[in-house]
Amino acid sequence: MTIQKPILDDGTELQGLSTALLFPSMELFGGPVRKSVGPLTPIVGVSLFQRTVLTLQRAGIRQLIVLSGPEEDQLKQALLKGPRVTVPVRWMPIREFPLDDPRTWESLAAEVRGFCLLSGVGTVFSRPLIEELRRDVRVGQVIVLGHPMPEGDGSETVGSAWRSDPIASVDVMVMQASELSVVGGLTAEFETGPIARWLERAAAEGRVHLLPAGGDDPSSWSQPVHTDADLRQAERRLYSSLKGEFEGFIDRYFNRKVSRWCTRVFVALGWSPNAVTIMATVIGLLAAGGFALGTYAAGVGAALLFQLAAIIDCSDGEVARLTFTESPFGAWLDLALDNVVHMAIFSGIAVGAFQRTAAGEDAWIPLALGAAAISGNACSFLLVNKAQSIKAASEWKTPLHAAWSDFMLKNVASRDFSVVVFAFAVLGKLATFLWLAAIGSLVFAGVMVWILRPAAVARPSV
């Protein structure tokens, strides 16, 4: 056994729950993994092992220790090919660090400060769930995330201490780092399963807090993946948990429900979020061209295309969240191209209205309204970018100013107005919509100017 230096510098002290121990080649309580799927099995474009690592990273875990088996090289390659892993990872081969050797647990105890999370990679869990575990750690308490045993199931439970409240499996466990040495001490008393034996003792002492997986909170969930049926169920949970940062009524109750089917196709094709964004933009520009034709049928068809663009525009963020490929540039590109499409839509509707009234004295009005709507939209985009920069730097002077900014950002990100465009197209009143677009975009820009006034932004400290 080769004792390695700690992952982090000696001067770095990790408080709370900041370290995760992963067991990709074995069950959490010892023994080889016995299931039809493995750590490299893909789920929604990302392997189970990658998804575990990246979810823990996004949830605030700052170091990972992987007790790996013969597939270690494949696991390393998987992390190199996928989204960037920024937390330090220590690889501890089981052949050098067997679980029945007390020195393995002594090495682990030397690596970890505060609390540690133990998990296999046969469970898909949400980031909010790990964040909840990090908030709930208590000195002397063990948190166990497990799935209850079905009634009438005669299968063996984790241990006799669980007979009053049996669970079929333990997916994730959180314990104090100082207890790792105690686990190692049990290896001399029991030949196998030191973690299970230690957990039985902790349960008998009343120190175990059982947290049922898949509770009522839709954002905090986990799904064990042992079979192909489990894999499909986990995929459904991942898709059903999708939600954007800013959503309007139509997004929540219509666009998201349809966009998930599009997202499945884009993930299967291996499209990047930016590619989906560009596709939505192209469809939006085609819709603008349809509005410019000026006929009733073209207007309705263009409105339907615009609604399709809004649906696909939901998919780019969904693909990014599912595959851990979010980026500041992608978020900016999405917002920028959304505004390009909106300005093109205003332009197309203005041109179409102009063509219908070209012979009249007031033919210039649609063009003027279109120009006003485009100008207000362009100014709003610049002001929103400024507001996002202030928010990222936490430079709002008071919580009230920050709340006003969030309210306006939510409204500018809403796709609900695509339905408004469709309603005016069906009613044959797109020229009337131009008045609303011009006034609304200019008012929005004016409110953003008020929000961004110097008195609302904190001065940088000298």
Domain ranges for the chain: 17-237, 246-456
For residues 365-373, average pLDDT: 93
DSSP 300-322: HHHHHHHHHHHHHHHHHHHHHHH
* Band (216; pLDDT cuts 50, 70, 90): low
Is 157 strand, coil or helix?
coil
pLDDT higher than 90, residue 427: yes
**pLDDT given for residue 130 in this prediction:** 92
For residues 313-327, average pLDDT: 91
Burial zone of 357 (CB within 10 Å; 0-12 exposed, 13-18 middle, 19+ buried): middle
Relative to beta strand 123-125, strand 208-212 is unpaired
* Band (163; pLDDT cuts 50, 70, 90): very low
pLDDT higher than 50, residue 153: no
| CATH tag, 246-456 | 1.20.120.1760
For residues 212-217, average pLDDT: 59
* Band (200; pLDDT cuts 50, 70, 90): confident
pLDDT in tens, 173-198: 899 988 888 887 776 665 556 787 88
**pLDDT given for residue 161 in this prediction:** 42
Q: At what angle do helices 328-356 and 273-292 cross, to 10 degrees?
A: 10
pLDDT higher than 70, residue 134: yes
The more confident residue out of 15 and 424 is 424
Question: What predicted TM-score, i.e. pTM, was given to this entire model?
Answer: 0.82
| CATH tag, 17-237 | 3.90.550.10
**pLDDT given for residue 227 in this prediction:** 85
Torsion angle in degrees (nearest 10) through CA of 251, 257, 258, 259: 70
Task: Answer left, alpha or beta for residue 82, where phi above 0 means left and psi between -120 and 50 means alpha.
Answer: beta
The more confident residue out of 87 and 169 is 87
The token duo for 299 is 């207007």
Give the 3-state secondary structure of 373-441. HHHHHHHHHHHHHHHHHHHHCCCECCHHHHHHHHHHHHHHHCCCHHHHHHHHHHCCCHHHHHHHHHHHH
Task: Write phi, then psi, for 255 (nearest 5 degrees).
Answer: -55, -45
Q: At what angle do helices 48-58 and 72-81 cross, to 10 degrees?
A: 60
Average pLDDT of the chain is 83
Relative to beta strand 115-120, strand 167-176 is antiparallel
How many CA atoms, within 13 angstroms, populate the side-chain half-sphere of residue 359?
1
Q: How far apart are CA 209 and CA 203, in angstroms?
A: 8
